[in-house]
A and B are shown apart, each in its own frame.
Chain A
Amino acid sequence: MPEIEAAKLKEIYTTMVRIRFFEERAVKEYRTKGLPGFVHPSIGQEAIPSAVCAFLREDDYVISTHRGHGDIIAKGARLDRMMAELFAKETGYCRGKGGSMHIAAVDLNILGATGIVGDGIPIASGVALACKMKNLDRVVVAFFGDGATNSGAFHEGIGLAAVWNLPVLFVCQNNQYQQSTPTRDYTRLSDLSDRAKAHGIPGITVDGNDAIAVAEVAREAIENVRKGRGPIFIVGNTYRTGGHHMGDPGTSYRTKEEVEEWKKRDPIKRLRDQLVQSKIATESELDEIENTTMRELDEAVEFAIKSPEPKVEEALEDIYYTPEK
């Protein structure tokens, strides 16, 4: 396999920074402005969606989860409209009806995010079925967490994709915890990608905090899926450095030492060091990516604040589709 090209690595780095900064800013906005509901940050997990989506085409599809900001930013979602959704505004992607857990951007083939763990998996198989029936060489990526791998929907959805040879890439971001329950307490498997064996499809485990490693695996997997060789299951081992949501400090079920140990393996710092050491990018170039993202987030927050509230009566719209009269 040829090495991942420099431009691609810089793109992945940029995406990771955009995810990290978006979520840090989102948490800050929740804390300081008392936004409604809650957010589930994926801080620490950015390498996986960034490296996977770097090899998708615009017409490929992504389905995400309640912890999905990263997945959809990686597929190209706009930060301002995402932020506006968190602020429950009319200009939000879901016009204030979905919130953090359900952001979709159908024009970008981001088909939605589910609050029911595992439910996106069979839906992704259905999208892939349609692609296959229409002879489109598109790839569908279903992102989900390790907790989802015990759900019926996971096995049913992968089973269907396997038996029908559908173009889906199933990507598990194994952040080591099903909310607060560690992997060892909910499965006897030490390697979650072994679950693929039950369905007769390839299962690949990769260091999910190593963006370059994820990129190498994802590039090849996406190519295989696109060529009609059937679905593939990838597990990226990673870590959610924060709590389950911003109200959970994440301290009652894991040790400080464990969290600190994982923080040392921070995927953004790691890729930054690799880019600088291999002279793919200079420190100042990477600083500029961060500064640009910061400015974009300031604008996104301003956009969200200035955006109008939806009318409450709109709560009764969009329950059913009604043709234009």
Chain B
Amino acid sequence: MRELTYREAVREALREEMKRDPSVFLMGEEIAEYGGSYKVTQGLLDEFGHDRVRNTPLAEASIAGAALGAALVGMRPVAEIMYIDFSFIAADQIINQIAKLRYMTGGMVKVPLVIRTQGGGGVAAGPHHSQSLEAIYAHIPGLIVVMPSTAYDAKGLLKSSIREDNPVIFIEHKKLYGEACEVPEEEYLVPLGKGEVKRQGKDITVVTYSRCVIRTLTVAEELKKDGIELEVVDPRTLKPLDEDVILSSVKKTGKAMVVYEAVRTGGFGAEIAATIAEKAFDYLDAPVKRVAALDSPIPFNPRMEDYILPNEEKIKAAALELMGK
């Protein structure tokens, strides 16, 4: 089977959905001629023209607000916020309008739109271009939050998100854009709200998402040599969360770890840990363990950044500790 990078997979999802449905269009900063800050939309302007691939002013509140307005009258906008760090400028529109308009109007409107953005560290981009802010959006009723870890999932989930009649915050990871995996030529969708066991194992359930899935899988191969088998569970969609895939794994292994790149306090991993504690406590042999970023802004210095973020070493150490080794 052919391989695509995560970047190419996202682009292919956009292209396919734009071809399929004329109401789908893109808007965002530098997405047209420049092809997007991470080149995700490269080439789409040539294919679809300026009417459907729209460069916007550097004004994120208007990007989100206008996406909402267009969605209210039958379009399916896919709006790009260049870095999730910038989404705070749009957050009022996202949280107060996009997430609530259906509710406030007693169900009179549908809001079919996708906010595509990317987050995460690992490229020495410093405190304003490296954050993991998914918990902010997962906290808001009315939003769907998706965080794919592979090219395959990114394509299938984005296609589902574009066809979804509720607003989706689709969070890519800048360090994953170059990662490739097998992606079939034929059309497929990955359903929203459905997690996946990325690796079977009997010893510890590791619930993780986005880039940390890849890091955890690397650790899992290392630990295999020590006879420890991690089961890696990727919820893929944080909201709505597929509790079943998580809980059934925990019930099998009796040990649970949550690995996420956001800072520890109030991170979405805390929600996952709490869910496990509430609903699978009797199956646990040990307290749920969290591996997350230290409670700090993300520093520029690459060694400091690595010190703050979860990495393979920290994931491995936590797993060994959980195994009593």
- Within A88-109, the residues touching B (CB, 8 Å) are 92-98, 102, 104-106
Q: Please determine whether A126 and B106 come into contact, CB atoms closer than 8 angstroms.
A: no
Once the chains are docked, how many angstroms separate the CA of A140 from the CA of B102?
Answer: 20
Identify which of A127-135, A172-180, A189-197 touches chain B.
A127-135
Once the chains are docked, how many angstroms separate the CA of A63 from the CA of B205?
Answer: 49
- Asked whether any CB of chain A lies closer than 8 Å to the CB of B101, the reply is yes
| Chain B proximity of A125: nearest CB distance (Å) | 5
- Asked whether any CB of chain B lies closer than 8 Å to the CB of A211, the reply is no
Nearest B-chain residue to A93, judged by Cβ: B106
Q: Please determine whether A123 and B97 come into contact, CB atoms closer than 8 angstroms.
A: yes
Q: Please determine whether A159 and B59 come into contact, CB atoms closer than 8 angstroms.
A: yes
Q: A130-B70, A157-B65 are in contact. List 8 more A-B contacts (CB 8 A).
A: A96-B106, A111-B72, A123-B69, A123-B93, A124-B69, A126-B77, A129-B70, A131-B73
Chain A to chain B contacts (Cβ below 8 Å), 18 pairs:
A94-B106, A96-B106, A111-B73, A119-B65, A122-B93, A123-B69, A123-B97, A126-B69, A127-B73, A140-B69, A152-B89, A156-B60, A156-B62, A157-B61, A157-B62, A160-B59, A318-B103, A319-B142
CB < 8 Å neighbour of A104 from B65, B92, B108, B165: B108
Question: What B residues does A105 contact at CB under 8 A?
Answer: 108
Once the chains are docked, how many angstroms separate the CA of A15 from the CA of B165?
Answer: 36
- Asked whether any CB of chain B lies closer than 8 Å to the CB of A163, the reply is yes
Nearest A-chain residue to B51, judged by Cβ: A133
Question: What A residues does B106 contact at CB under 8 A?
Answer: 92-98, 318
- Within B81-106, the residues touching A (CB, 8 Å) are 89, 92-93, 96-97, 101-106
Given contacts A124-B69, A126-B67, A127-B69, whether A102 and B105 have CB atoms under 8 Å apart is yes
Given contacts A119-B93, A318-B103, A321-B110, whether A127 and B62 have CB atoms under 8 Å apart is no
| Chain B proximity of A226: nearest CB distance (Å) | 16
Question: What A residues does B297 contact at CB under 8 A?
Answer: none
Q: Please determine whether B104 and A98 come into contact, CB atoms closer than 8 angstroms.
A: yes
Question: What A residues does B93 contact at CB under 8 A?
Answer: 119, 122-123, 153
CB < 8 Å neighbour of B65 from A98, A140, A153: A153
- Central interface residue in A116, A119, A155, A320, by most chain B CB within 10 Å: A320
- Central interface residue in B65, B67, B74, B111, by most chain A CB within 10 Å: B65
- Asked whether any CB of chain B lies closer than 8 Å to the CB of A231, the reply is no
- Asked whether any CB of chain B lies closer than 8 Å to the CB of A258, the reply is no
Q: Please determine whether B104 and A104 come into contact, CB atoms closer than 8 angstroms.
A: yes
- Central interface residue in A105, A116, A124, A160, by most chain B CB within 10 Å: A160
Once the chains are docked, how many angstroms separate the CA of A318 from the CA of B92?
Answer: 20
Given contacts A126-B65, A156-B62, A159-B59, whether A94 and B70 have CB atoms under 8 Å apart is no
Once the chains are docked, how many angstroms separate the CA of A124 from the CA of B110?
Answer: 16
Q: Please determine whether A122 and B107 come into contact, CB atoms closer than 8 angstroms.
A: no
Once the chains are docked, how many angstroms separate the CA of A321 from the CA of B163?
Answer: 13
- Asked whether any CB of chain A lies closer than 8 Å to the CB of B141, the reply is yes
| Chain A proximity of B224: nearest CB distance (Å) | 41
Given contacts A125-B66, A129-B70, A152-B61, whether A106 and B109 have CB atoms under 8 Å apart is yes
Question: What A residues does B69 contact at CB under 8 A?
Answer: 111, 122-130, 140
- Central interface residue in A122, A128, A131, A134, by most chain B CB within 10 Å: A122
- Asked whether any CB of chain B lies closer than 8 Å to the CB of A121, the reply is yes
Nearest B-chain residue to A316, judged by Cβ: B141
Q: Please determine whether B142 and A320 come into contact, CB atoms closer than 8 angstroms.
A: yes
| Chain B proximity of A324: nearest CB distance (Å) | 12
Q: Please determine whether A102 and B104 come into contact, CB atoms closer than 8 angstroms.
A: yes
- Within B263-304, the residues touching A (CB, 8 Å) are none
- Asked whether any CB of chain A lies closer than 8 Å to the CB of B258, the reply is no
Question: What B residues does A164 contact at CB under 8 A?
Answer: 54
Nearest A-chain residue to B62, judged by Cβ: A156
- Central interface residue in B67, B70, B73, B110, by most chain A CB within 10 Å: B73
- Asked whether any CB of chain A lies closer than 8 Å to the CB of B137, the reply is no
Question: What A residues does B56 contact at CB under 8 A?
Answer: 160
- Asked whether any CB of chain A lies closer than 8 Å to the CB of B189, the reply is no
- Central interface residue in B54, B69, B71, B102, by most chain A CB within 10 Å: B69
Question: What A residues does B97 contact at CB under 8 A?
Answer: 114, 116, 119, 123
CB < 8 Å neighbour of A111 from B89, B92, B109, B144: B109
Once the chains are docked, how many angstroms separate the CA of A98 from the CA of B108?
Answer: 11
Given contacts A125-B62, A160-B59, A320-B142, whether A130 and B105 have CB atoms under 8 Å apart is no
Given contacts A319-B141, A323-B165, whether A123 and B65 have CB atoms under 8 Å apart is yes
Q: Please determine whether B166 and A122 come into contact, CB atoms closer than 8 angstroms.
A: no
Q: Please determine whether A156 and B61 come into contact, CB atoms closer than 8 angstroms.
A: yes
Q: Please determine whether A318 and B102 come into contact, CB atoms closer than 8 angstroms.
A: yes
Question: What A residues does B101 contact at CB under 8 A?
Answer: 112
Once the chains are docked, how many angstroms separate the CA of A276 from the CA of B25?
Answer: 53
Given contacts A126-B65, A129-B70, A133-B75, whether A321 and B165 have CB atoms under 8 Å apart is yes
Question: What A residues does B165 contact at CB under 8 A?
Answer: 321, 323
- Within A230-254, the residues touching B (CB, 8 Å) are none
Give me the 10 closest cross-chain CB pairs, A-B, nearest first.
A126-B69, A122-B65, A126-B66, A95-B106, A156-B62, A318-B107, A156-B59, A127-B69, A94-B106, A123-B69
Report B35-75 CB contacts with A as 1/0, cut-off 8 Å.
Answer: 00000000000000001001011011110111111111111
Once the chains are docked, how many angstroms separate the CA of A98 from the CA of B71?
Answer: 20
| Chain A proximity of B225: nearest CB distance (Å) | 45
Q: Please determine whether A321 and B166 come into contact, CB atoms closer than 8 angstroms.
A: yes
| Chain A proximity of B150: nearest CB distance (Å) | 26
Once the chains are docked, how many angstroms separate the CA of A124 from the CA of B59?
Answer: 15
Q: Please determine whether B104 and A112 come into contact, CB atoms closer than 8 angstroms.
A: yes
Question: What A residues does B166 contact at CB under 8 A?
Answer: 320-321
- Asked whether any CB of chain B lies closer than 8 Å to the CB of A317, the reply is yes
Once the chains are docked, how many angstroms separate the CA of A98 from the CA of B68?
Answer: 18
| Chain B proximity of A165: nearest CB distance (Å) | 12
Nearest B-chain residue to A152, judged by Cβ: B61
Once the chains are docked, how many angstroms separate the CA of A122 from the CA of B77?
Answer: 14
Once the chains are docked, how many angstroms separate the CA of A134 from the CA of B77?
Answer: 13
